[in-house]
Structure 1
Amino acid sequence: MATDAPSEDSTPAADGFIASDPLSSPFGSLNDLCYELSSLQELATRGSWRSILDKVSRARKLSLLQKPHEHLCYFSYNVLALIKLRRYGDVSEELASLEDLDHSIYQYESHPDVYPGRSGSMIPFALRWIHAEIPLKLGKRQETLDRLYTLLDFARTRVDEKGSRGLGVSADVWKRREVFVVNSIIGHHLSHKEFGVCVSLIRQLLSGRCRDDPALVSKLGCIQLQIGDLEGAKASFELVEKMGKEERLGSLSEIEFKNLVNRNKALVYLVGKDYVSAVREYEECIERDGSDVVAINNKALCLMYLRDLSDSIKVLENALERVPTVALNETLVVNLCSMYELAYVNHSDIKRTLSNWIARVAPDDFDSSCTRI
């Protein structure tokens, strides 16, 4: 029951599912790009992964997908749904059917009658990311790391290519993808306490094109805390605050940035076991943004450490009631159930009530075993 925040969904943003850049600009909506793509995106947002599998199956059976990139878009949503439903063997088989993602058949110029004047790969970025991640799910960690580092090189090459051609918007997209892949790699190294590699990767980004990214600097500070470098962490967090004064907010909104600063301060207080001050910082975050699940979760944990189980339970229960689509994640539910076990003799009945509610509102991929009934 660590104070680590609930992890954000590590799925690439919606633009990752759209076939590569050459197709993106001439169209005004997702449906212009691909058959009923907006409905797939809506289902994914709701976590209706089984419905996505049904929709893809129906589109294939009725031959509703006409162009190569449409098949790839639907293929991407299909494998994402499978991975969300933990059907990793099926994902591996699906990906194997594509063979080489860089094969010429997946290049626009291989279909000049369909894509006149277009060039480059039509493989969605999210599909490359899933292809990199799936070996880990099958017990092949090193293969996943190898593929992620290859994907990182791929993204960096695209950043350089787009920038040299003066395609600013496209270069920015690939910069975000570069950071996304680095964060994926860092997550794997952190799980094995390989902190030195993580620090090196972040510093490499910060010394280059991501020097104005306060979220990355904050991540560096968090890792420094984990390795016991309190002064280094404080310096990183102070740099984040300085970036705010200079209005270097990166891709964060003003509210997101302010909450990031408060959460950084709270982490330093947590290291010193000053839970009262940490609670104060998290409360500021929640007042600013009631859906800040990181602050909500960690405020509840701080209250628990202060032996205020009643209030810590209320914090999490209120969050589930107010913002269920945001607060309903396994980390928060595990913490709440742990608090029930500490606070109530009849905790099994209470957890069963929670489990029944979760069954009604949770997305298809929610792991209901986290209630430990």
Structure 2
Amino acid sequence: MDTNPESESEPDLLKPQSTETSLNDLAHDLTSLLELAQRGSWRSILDKVTRARSLSLLSKPHDHLTYLSFYVFSLTKLRRFADAASELDSLQDLDSHRYLYESYPQFYPNRTGSLIPFSLRWLHALIPSKLGNRLEGLDRLYSLLDFVRQRIKSKNNVSFNVWRKREVFLVNCIIGQHLAAKEFVVCLDLFNELINRDDSLDPVLLSKLGYLQMQIGDFDGAKSSFSRIESMLKEGRIDSVSFSESELNNLVNRNRALVFLVGKDYVSAVREYDECIERDHEDVVAINNKAICLMYLRDLSDSIKVLENSLERVPTVALNETLVVNLCSMYELAYINHSDIKSTLSNWISLVAPDDFDATCTRI
């Protein structure tokens, strides 16, 4: 069973940074695209982009690139990686003069720099690994990391924080690639490179370092990483803009719970997860892991209720493959007629799930 301490997710790659103008001023009908993305309506986005292209509704270079970002992102969410790669290949050189603001003074007077959204650069780096070309994917991710670090050196204070968050995000992507290959030493080096810089302390990053340390058997190191986060929180050394108080407190509780879970103190772990859930009813990691702890305590009935209640209460948040896989595993342990129960669950999922949900996780 997957306890999924901290699930990986994409950042707000399709979310514009500017709030000075309306979204639709930034790109054609951008509000509608964002609403579809938030609902997971990836096929509708493909249809909308195709229609906009066929009717020549995109008039400026950045409109085309914004719509391409949504199109490729949607293809990626739908696991159509070859199609996504084909769309990205149409761009050719991302650093070409064709993608500079100064090449279109009639549209962007007095603006300089690249028109290419960061989301497209990230997708360009991600897709090769999705197609099984791990080394090419890593090479592109490291090249993009160099690109971001160059921007960090040259940007003003306003842009600095945005590019620093992108740096942390990319390092996490790269770490994920190395973790999959069990290249733990490389992962530790990447973590320490960021964490040892005073201005880069990130509680989520420190937590992930703790999870890695647990995987390689460094239990004391993991507890030290977790304790460092608690000290930062008490001393007010965490960016309150990036993290809410409830997010930080839940992170601390989940870290404590993980220490208890590894030590097989499931009662104490449940107590920590309960605090998280009371504070935030949408903390799916805490919900999922609480259910697993209850299962280990041989309370299979309550563990099933925890997951079922979360799906009923917050389906848009709780409906992910990890949670559904765990619930179906519990059904198989608890019920003789588990196939019928899973079939009912599968039918419900087909009505409410986003387009990219993997329905095979019910194992019917």
Counterpart of 2:64 (choices 47, 58, 71) is 71
The match for 1:304 is 295
The match for 1:263 is 254
Is this contact kept in 2: 1:6–1:329, CA < 8 A? no
Q: In structure 1, what is the Cα distance between the partners aligned to 2:321 and 2:298?
A: 23
- What are the Cα deviations for residues 294-330 of structure 1, in whole angstroms up to 9, with x where unaligned? 1001001111111111010000000001111110000
Q: In structure 2, what is the Cα distance between the partners aligned to 1:29 and 1:203?
A: 40
1:181 pairs with 2:170: yes
1:50 pairs with 2:43: yes
- Aligned partner letter, 1:84: K
- Aligned partner letter, 1:249: I
Is this contact kept in 2: 1:5–1:297, CA < 8 A? no
Q: In structure 1, what is the Cα distance between the partners aligned to 2:51 and 2:2?
A: 44
Shift of 1:211: 3.6
Counterpart of 1:132 (choices 122, 125, 135) is 125
Shift of 1:38: 1.0
Is this contact kept in 2: 1:6–1:332, CA < 8 A? no
Is this contact kept in 1: 2:14–2:69, CA < 8 A? no
The match for 2:213 is 224
Shift of 1:196: 1.4
Q: In structure 1, what is the Cα distance between the partners aligned to 2:199 and 2:138?
A: 22
The match for 1:323 is 314
Shift of 1:12: 4.0
Counterpart of 1:356 (choices 315, 336, 347) is 347
Counterpart of 1:247 (choices 223, 236, 258) is 236
- Aligned partner letter, 1:3: T
Is this contact kept in 1: 2:246–2:280, CA < 8 A? yes
| Matching of residues 187-202 of structure 1 within 5 Å | 187-202=176-191
- Aligned partner letter, 1:77: F
Shift of 1:4: 2.2
1:207 pairs with 2:196: yes
Shift of 1:219: 1.2
Aligned length: 362
The match for 2:10 is 10
TM-score (norm 1): 0.94
Counterpart of 1:343 (choices 314, 318, 334) is 334
| Matching of residues 84-99 of structure 1 within 5 Å | 84-99=77-92
Is this contact kept in 2: 1:212–1:243, CA < 8 A? no
RMSD of Structure 2 on Structure 1 (CA): 1.3
Shift of 1:193: 1.6
Counterpart of 1:107 (choices 85, 90, 100) is 100
Q: In structure 1, what is the Cα distance between the partners aligned to 2:150 and 2:237?
A: 26
TM-score (norm 2): 0.97
Counterpart of 1:365 (choices 326, 331, 356) is 356
Shift of 1:190: 1.3
| SS, match of residue 64 in structure 1 | coil
Is this contact kept in 1: 2:94–2:116, CA < 8 A? yes
Shift of 1:208: 2.0
Ranges in structure 1 where 5+ consecutive residues have no aligned partner: none
Shift of 1:213: 1.4
Shift of 1:189: 1.2
Ranges in structure 2 where 5+ consecutive residues have no aligned partner: none
Shift of 1:5: 3.3
- Aligned partner letter, 1:206: I
1:313 pairs with 2:304: yes
1:83 pairs with 2:76: yes
Shift of 1:66: 0.3
Is this contact kept in 1: 2:194–2:201, CA < 8 A? no
Is this contact kept in 2: 1:6–1:297, CA < 8 A? no
Shift of 1:138: 1.1
Q: In structure 2, what is the Cα distance between the partners aligned to 1:349 and 1:198?
A: 43
Q: In structure 2, what is the Cα distance between the partners aligned to 1:355 and 1:255?
A: 33
Identity, in percent, stands at: 67
